[in-house]
């Protein structure tokens, strides 16, 4: 009996002596195993939790000012490209369009009048040219008559000296020469007048042509004004620039909006990718095409496969709105981060769950 009691005491003493050692040994073995696994994983992967899902977005902006007449969508609705979204009261722009169109029609009437004036000027120039030809022909005929009268006068003077012609006949010949000479001078005056009228007619044609060119230039300006007015009428009816889902609306019926005001944003839900910001010390073995494991914080059990699509050519600090100036004298070396774009493999599988802006963890396999 005493022996059994002694053996039990020895067993309890041995357990007390070796049990802590065994537990410590197990803990060390387990810690070493997980430490090795972590070390091995670190050699194969580069990971970061500074990553988000990104997507294409298109803001819907008011392009003209006015009161909102209708809003045809609800918050977070799915829309198709070209679908009507918002209508701004177009009455003001319709009136402006009608006014510039009326001005254009008036200019068209002015152009028709100017063309008629050109035709009249051209017809007048033709008449003047014809009158000039007639005057020149009359002058040529009259020159012949004048020359004949002068020849007749010389003959009559010779006959008079030979006393074969009377004084009255000689005077009649002299009168005929004077009449024919004056008639020729009148014809020359008609030619000069026709030539002067010809210059005036040419000036009238040039003036009519210049007026036509001026009106045509005005028509181009007014056509541009019509196109601009039509654009504004079209801008009063906003449609979806892309297909996707809208966010929360920032517009209601009756609200007055200004050009450039954001009414809501459409997110293209057909394409998503990940932007992961890795430390510069993690980029040594990172290359385009390497596989990536992506874990979404919102869906812990969702495993997404990806691949490295591209690496930025500058750090995030360098592309910031206000990049740091390291020459200011207070430089402190900080590990920089470089954005890496990760393409999602088979994104249509995750379309119903992915949202732009969700936080993710990204692990890039940099070694085999």
Name the β-bridge partners of 265.
Answer: 59
- The answer, yes or no, to whether residue 160 has pLDDT greater than 80, is no
The superfamily CATH assigns to domain 46-58+265-365 is: Efflux pump adaptor protein, beta barrel domain (2.40.30.170)
- The answer, yes or no, to whether residue 40 has pLDDT greater than 60, is no
Predicted pLDDT at 366: 86
| CA–CA separation, 297 and 313 (whole Å) | 28
Return phi, psi of residue 111, to 5°: -65, -40
- The answer, yes or no, to whether residue 276 has pLDDT greater than 80, is yes
The answer for residues whose C-beta is within 8 angstroms of residue 241's C-beta and 6 or more apart is 58, 60, 81, 266
Q: CB pairs under 8 A, 24+ apart, for 205-213?
A: 205/118, 205/121, 205/122, 205/125, 207/121, 208/114, 208/117, 208/118, 208/120, 208/121, 209/118, 211/114, 211/117, 212/111, 212/114, 212/115, 212/118
Predicted pLDDT at 293: 92
Please give the class, per CATH, of domain 90-234: mainly alpha
Predicted pLDDT at 335: 86
- Tell me where in the chain the CATH 2.40.30.170 domain(s) lie: 46-58+265-365
Within the chain, residue ranges assigned H as helices are 2-44, 91-161, 167-235
**Mapping DSSP to helix (H, G, I), strand (E, B) and coil, where does residue 244 land?**
strand
Residue 233 DSSP one-character state = H
Predicted pLDDT at 9: 55
Mean pLDDT value across the chain? 84
| CA–CA separation, 219 and 213 (whole Å) | 10
Q: Per-residue confidence at 36, pLDDT binned at 50, 70, 90?
A: low
User: DSSP per residue over 74-138, as a string?
Assistant: -TT-EE-TT-EEEEE--HHHHHHHHHHHHHHHHHHHHHHHHHHHHHHHHHHHHHHHHHHHHHHHH
Q: Per-residue confidence at 4, pLDDT binned at 50, 70, 90?
A: low
In contact, 361 and 341? CB cutoff 8 Å: no
pLDDT cut 90: percent of the chain above it = 40
Closest of 185, 187, 202, 209 to residue 128, by C-alpha: 202
- The residue with greater pLDDT, 25 or 308, is 308
- The answer, yes or no, to whether residue 6 has pLDDT greater than 60, is no
Joined tokens for residue 83: 């679908």
Tens of pLDDT, residues 57-113: 899 999 999 999 999 999 888 899 999 999 999 999 999 999 999 999 999 999 999
Average pLDDT over residues 155-164: 75
- Tell me where in the chain the CATH 1.10.287.620 domain(s) lie: 90-234
- The answer, yes or no, to whether residue 3 has pLDDT greater than 70, is no
Query: What's the predicted TM-score (pTM) here?
Result: 0.63
Predicted pLDDT at 348: 82
| CA–CA separation, 225 and 235 (whole Å) | 15
């Amino acid at each position: 009996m005493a022996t059994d009691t002694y053996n039990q005491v020895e067993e309890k003493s041995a357990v007390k002596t070796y049990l802590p050692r065994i537990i410590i040994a197990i803990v060390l073995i387990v810690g070493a195993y997980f430490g090795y696994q972590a070390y091995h994983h670190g050699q194969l992967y580069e990971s970061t939790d500074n990553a988000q899902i990104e997507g294409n977005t298109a803001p819907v902006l008011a392009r003209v000012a006015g009161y909102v007449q209708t809003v045809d969508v609800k918050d977070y609705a799915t829309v198709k490209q070209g679908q009507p979204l918002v209508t701004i009261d177009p009455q003001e722009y319709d009136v402006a369009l009608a006014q510039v169109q009326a001005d254009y029609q008036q200019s068209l009437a002015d152009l028709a009048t100017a063309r008629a004036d050109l035709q009249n000027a051209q017809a007048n120039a033709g008449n003047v040219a014809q009158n000039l030809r007639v005057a020149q022909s009359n002058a040529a005929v009259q020159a012949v008559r004048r020359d004949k009268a002068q020849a007749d006068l010389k003959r009559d003077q010779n006959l008079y000296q030979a006393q074969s012609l009377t004084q009255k006949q000689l005077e009649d010949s002299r009168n005929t020469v004077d009449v024919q000479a004056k008639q020729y001078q009148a014809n020359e005056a008609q030619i000069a007048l026709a030539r002067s009228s010809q210059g005036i007619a040419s000036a009238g044609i040039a003036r009519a042509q210049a007026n036509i060119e001026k009106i045509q230039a005005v028509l181009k300006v007014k056509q541009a004004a019509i196109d601009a007015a039509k654009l504004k009428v079209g801008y009063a009816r906003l449609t979806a620039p892309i297909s996707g889902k809208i966010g929360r609306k920032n517009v209601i019926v009756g609200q007055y909006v200004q050009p450039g005001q954001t009414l809501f944003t459409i997110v293209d839900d057909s394409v998503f990718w990940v932007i992961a910001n890795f430390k510069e010390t993690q980029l040594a073995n990172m290359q385009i095409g390497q596989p990536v494991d992506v874990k979404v914080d919102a869906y812990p059990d969702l495993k997404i496969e990806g691949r490295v699509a591209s690496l930025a050519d500058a750090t995030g600090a360098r592309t910031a709105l206000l990049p740091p100036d390291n020459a200011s004298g207070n430089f402190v070396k900080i590990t920089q981060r470089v954005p890496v774009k990760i393409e999602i493999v088979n994104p249509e599988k995750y379309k119903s769950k992915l949202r732009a802006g969700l936080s993710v963890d990204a692990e890039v396999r940099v070694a085999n």
